[in-house]
Amino acid sequence: GKTAFALNIAQNGATKQGAVVALFSLEMGAESLVNRMLCAEGSIDAGRLRTGQLLEQEWSDLIVAMGALGSSEIYIDDTPGNRMAEIRAKS
């Protein structure tokens, strides 16, 4: 729930408000985070995205979601072992 909540805030800030967003992930890789955001943005079933078995409409929704996220300024740092001082310096 914590990751989903943080991603929702970051995604809405970047795509709806035009904010520049930096995400620092200590647990999940950037690819997993992007997949979750794509599913949320496009209302796409995560299991079908993972297997590539999307419905026809979901392929269209995925393209729209990719455009929305691709045109927003979301930066993800998934460097393992980031310490607070490093995160502070990068942000």
List the catalytic residues: 27
7, two tokens: 């991603």
Q: Which residues contact 4 (CB under 8 A, 6 or more apart)?
A: 36, 40
In the block, residue with structure tokens 């079933």: 45
39, two tokens: 């599913």
Show the DSSP H helices in the chain as ranges: 2-16, 30-42, 46-51, 56-70, 84-90
